[in-house]
């Protein structure tokens, strides 16, 4: 599977909605002063800092070295490390593991949940939001269709995402000893920044791996065709609206 190319400058300039929406999740985390909290998939560190501001001792980890490098630059007083969400270990247990907009990038949920369980203290909590069943359905279908027209026979095989249902994910948590206290799947149509360029920026940020095997000219042509096909449904009043669906969960380690 091809990996996504993470452009931290584009991420911070045009995709601030990722952590701005994540601020709502902090209410479910309900940080207590002095708690040790792990931010799994911390990106460039904006929510990690907010957790620290609430009084926690926080560590941020992310699979992408570019994200961690930028996080350290943004918040030099906080602890960040490159780590794989499906294969990480910690020296000391945490009171909570927090994750926003990251777990849909890992197609081995059992491994992730096992690492989270091992990182938590007994009765520690796991609070997360990520893409759920039906997330970016229109965008993905259109992307696949355009790639087929470009000569890719099975572009869905390049899909890097994991978008489970509530039942599927809650079952996985329970099988590894978690008590699921809260789980919800909801639509969240998300306005993209930068007007007409919004969906193109989104593809370059979150779906770059699909286009990595074609020339820059072909990439530009593909994005233009994706825009044309999606415009009737996802473009309103000068703004692109991504068809997001999110899962939120709160689970306690037994």
Q: What is the CATH code of the structural domain delimited by 8-253?
A: 3.40.50.150
Q: Is 47 exposed, middle or buried (0-12, 13-18, 19+ CB in 10 A)?
A: buried
In angstroms, what CA-CA distances link 49 with 17, 23, 109, 226? 16, 11, 26, 36
Confidence of residue 188 (pLDDT cuts 50, 70, 90): very high
Q: What is the pTM of this model?
A: 0.91
Strands 94-100 and 79-82: unpaired
Unique residue bearing structure tokens 């520690």: 124
Q: How confident is the model at residue 120 (pLDDT cuts 50, 70, 90)?
A: very high
Q: pLDDT grade, residue 208 (50/70/90)? A: confident
Average confidence score pLDDT of the chain: 91
Domain boundary assignment for the chain: 8-253
**2-34 residue pLDDT tens:** 454 545 555 555 445 555 667 889 999 999 999
What average pLDDT does the segment 239-246 reach?
96
pLDDT at 17: 54
CA–CA gap between residue 130 and residue 4 (Å, rounded) = 17
d(CA 204, CA 19): 18
pLDDT at 138: 97
Q: In this structure, what are the phi and psi dihedrals at residue 47, rounded to the nearest 5 degrees?
A: -75, -30
Least confident of 30-39, 45-54, 209-218: 209-218
Alpha-carbon Rg for the chain in angstroms: 18
- Return the sign of the alpha-carbon dihedral for residues 207, 210, 211, 212: positive
Query: What pLDDT score does 5 carry?
Result: 54
DSSP helix/strand/coil, 249: strand
Specify the higher pLDDT residue, 246 or 151: 246
Q: Between 194 and 229, name the one with better pLDDT.
A: 229
The candidate with the shortest Cα–Cα distance to 44, out of 25, 21, 16, is 16
244: pLDDT strictly greater than 70: yes
């Amino acid at each position: 599977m091809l990996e996504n190319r993470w452009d931290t400058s584009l991420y911070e300039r045009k995709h601030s909605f990722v952590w701005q929406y994540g601020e709502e999740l902090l209410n479910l985390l309900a940080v207590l002063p002095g708690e040790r909290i792990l931010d799994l998939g911390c990106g460039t560190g904006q929510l990690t800092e907010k957790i620290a501001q609430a009084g926690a001792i926080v560590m941020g980890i992310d699979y992408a070295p570019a994200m961690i490098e930028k996080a350290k630059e943004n918040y030099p007083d906080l602890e960040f490390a490159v780590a794989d969400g499906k294969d990480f270990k910690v020296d000391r247990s945490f009171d909570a593991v927090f994750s926003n907009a990251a777990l849909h990038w890992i197609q081995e949920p059992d491994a992730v949940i096992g690492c989270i369980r091992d990182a938590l203290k007994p009765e520690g909590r796991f609070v997360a939001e990520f893409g759920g069943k039906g997330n970016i359905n229109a965008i993905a279908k259109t992307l696949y269709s355009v790639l087929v027209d470009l000569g890719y026979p099975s572009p869905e095989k390049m899909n890097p995402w994991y978008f489970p249902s509530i039942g599927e994910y809650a079952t996985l948590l329970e099988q590894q000893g978690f008590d699921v206290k809260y789980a919800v799947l909801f639509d969240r149509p998300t306005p993209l920044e930068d007007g007409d360029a919004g969906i193109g920026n989104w593809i370059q940020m979150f779906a770059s791996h699909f286009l990595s095997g074609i020339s820059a000219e072909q990439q530009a042509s593909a994005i233009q065709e994706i825009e044309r096909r999606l415009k009737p449904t996802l473009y309103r009043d000068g703004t692109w609206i991504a068809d997001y669906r999110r899962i939120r969960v709160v689970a306690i380690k037994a």
